Structure 1
Amino acid sequence: MSLGDDCHAWKKKTTDVKDQYDFKEVLGTGAFSEVVLAEELKTMRLVAIKCIPKKALEGKESNIENEIAVLHKIKHANIVSLEEIFESKSHLYLVMQLVSGGELFDRIIEKGFYTEKDASKLIQQILDAVKYLHDMGIVHRDLKPENLLYDSMDEDSKIMISDFGLSKIEGSDSVMSTACGTPGYVAPEVLAQKPYSKAVDCWSIGVIAYILLCGYPPFYDENDAKLFEQILKAEYEFDSPYWDDISDSAKDFIVHLMQKDPNARYTCDQALQHPWIAGDTALEKNIHESVSAQIKKNFAKSKWKQAFNATAVVRHMRRLQLGTSNEGPTTQAGEGSQDVDGGADSMSNCTFRCHPTSRV
């Protein structure tokens, strides 16, 4: 299934967005937009609204139109949805599904008990969502833990993929060859500046699975050139003692996704059939202490631009429950502030974002 000819059928409601939504607090600001927590007046349902000044779009129209075209077509249980688009003389407003359960790493750290089986279930949801994208001819190109958010605060909440600023519709242009993404998650063929395909997303899922099982990235170096060299060679290890208690099946799953040759790399279909996902080979031993300690050490919040400020959403919802929704400070940019533009503007020059520190 392809996006086809109706990529731009989404154009926009011209009624005043504030006739239908009550704007609350700012969740975060980006290079050319901000995201606001809002309440739909008719239903009292909370949403996130991405507010983009038209002046800021000059020269960047193709980036935002790409993101909207992608988001408008996507309807999947594990992908943040675009619900409505409004246009005023000065702004574009994207009404997005609000996910309020917080960030992946935060939830893992907060758990007292965390196992391979938990990681396997997370990866299965990601694979299901990315398979859906790939079947539609969409390549995400920037899959990473920071773009994975929990739908709600419930213990059994599903995981959601956000941030489509770098997504690409296959066949909508020439063969993909633009070097973009986030360093530690980028496939070797991207760094080699070779034409690439949806296989780059499968590599990134392998990297995410690796981190979920040990708490640190498979590739790390303070020097970007050395980091890229590791990735280009696909040089990574299952270091002792961090991997001593992890199953051979989990390691086999990662090895099949983190293949240097994209033609030998597992597809989402193949990965979903692997015993570590589809079978019962994922262990249920508690690995929380080791993994959470490594996450704290290797993924300092200050180093990352978040997909959105989930902390602010959670805080706001707690205030609503307490009946004090008008109290408390609004979110300050910098406190887990988001890259609300999905990286589309900053990445158009093919610059890479920072990478996590070494665990050593």
Structure 2
Amino acid sequence: MSEALNRNYRLCEEIGRGRFGVVYRCYSLATGDSFAVKSVDKSLIADDSVDRQCLYNEAKVMQLISPNPNVVQIYDVYEDDSHLHIVIELCNNSDLFHQIANQVFSEAEAAAVLAPLMAAIAHCHRRGVAHRDVKPDNILFDEWGRLKLADFGSAECFREGEMMSGVVGTPYYVAPEVVAGREYSEKVDVWSAGVILYIMLAGIPPFYGDTAAEIFEAVLRANLRFPSRIFHSVSPAVKDLLRRMLCKDVSRRFSAEQVLRHPWMTTT
């Protein structure tokens, strides 16, 4: 473990684990405040791999977009011969994945999640960062219940009007232009947020399949439906917003800022 990290923080219990490392709760020796530290074992990542690029990119991107009240904040980065340690805000309350697994949201409850999520996405886009893996697992809540967008390992920096490439994301939430292998813009994040809104209201994803291949086929068709047995009590306003977020034609798809200005968002 990094000597510099140990001089400033005391590591406690493990609170998460990924492909390349472990997340621990820790606290500052100077203030006693609690944080999380993501410790990545560099020996598990090939020197020339995309994963290594993502590892260093994550810390750079988080520094670019911090601070923001709806984005997980980065505080320190330490590196030694074997590990990279990223000290970040501790969000140990819950995540949206567990919430949507246990309930269908009312429109007011869904709006209370979508508003800060879209504020976070709009902030990232203004800073020239596309998250590229917006999904419920990456939407955390702190001890006061505030939403925090997390996990920028797949994020990409872009300049205005510049397109990105590379298949990244998670099957249910990935935009059709990504699945098709085309170049794409930051609006892929709006599509993913639209899928999340649909799932919160319906309890099921808008584009479904039993395998990843079937899901991708459904995403490519982008045939958005509102089954009456599920959506009978859902307002026309939120259906309109969903059509504008889950629009296959990227030129007509809303930006994050347009989502925030939609009447459903401003009146619900």
Structure 1 residues 212 and 24: alpha-carbon distance in aligned structure 2, compared to 1, 3 A threshold:
same
* 2:137 partner letter: E
Structure 1 residues 226 and 31: alpha-carbon distance in aligned structure 2, compared to 1, 3 A threshold:
closer
Instruction: Find the partner of 1:189 among 169, 177, 197.
Output: 177
CA–CA distance in structure 2, aligned partners of residues 25 and 224 of structure 1: 34
Q: TM-score, normalization: structure 2?
A: 0.91
Q: Cα RMSD (Å) of the superposition?
A: 2.0
SS in 1 for 2:231: coil
* 1:240 partner letter: S
CA–CA distance in structure 2, aligned partners of residues 229 and 107 of structure 1: 27
| Match runs of 1:1-360 below 5 Å | 15-57=3-45, 58-60=47-49, 61-74=52-65, 75-107=67-99, 114-152=105-143, 154=144, 157-171=145-159, 175-279=163-267, 282=268
What are the Cα deviations for residues 119-174 of structure 1, in whole angstroms up to 9, with x where unaligned? 1121011111100110111101000111111111x4xx2211111110000149x8
CA–CA distance in structure 2, aligned partners of residues 225 and 114 of structure 1: 28
CA–CA distance in structure 2, aligned partners of residues 87 and 228 of structure 1: 38
Q: In the alignment, is the contact (CA less than 8 A) between 2:100 and 2:203 conserved in 1?
A: no
What are the Cα deviations for residues 178-200 of structure 1, in whole angstroms up to 9, with x where unaligned? 11110111111111111100111
CA–CA distance in structure 2, aligned partners of residues 266 and 20 of structure 1: 44
CA–CA distance in structure 1, aligned partners of residues 94 and 37 of structure 2: 17
Structure ID, larger Rg? 1
Q: In the alignment, is the contact (CA less than 8 A) between 1:15 and 1:87 conserved in 2?
A: no
Comparing both structures, which one devotes a greater share of its residues to strand?
2
Structure 1 residues 140 and 268: alpha-carbon distance in aligned structure 2, compared to 1, 3 A threshold:
same
Q: Which runs of 5+ in 2 are unaligned?
A: none
What are the Cα deviations for residues 203-224 of structure 1, in whole angstroms up to 9, with x where unaligned? 1111111011111111111133
**How many residue pairs get matched?**
262
SS in 1 for 2:125: helix
CA–CA distance in structure 1, aligned partners of residues 192 and 236 of structure 2: 20
* 2:265 partner letter: I
Deviation, structure 1 residue 108: 5.7
SS in 2 for 1:241: helix
**RCO (CA 8 Å, sep 6+): is it higher in 1 or 2?**
1
Q: TM-score, normalization: structure 1?
A: 0.69
Comparing both structures, which one devotes a greater share of its residues to helix?
2
* 2:87 partner letter: V
Q: Which runs of 5+ in 1 are unaligned?
A: 1-13, 283-360
Identity over aligned pairs, percent: 34
Partner of 1:337: none
CA–CA distance in structure 1, aligned partners of residues 154 and 78 of structure 2: 22
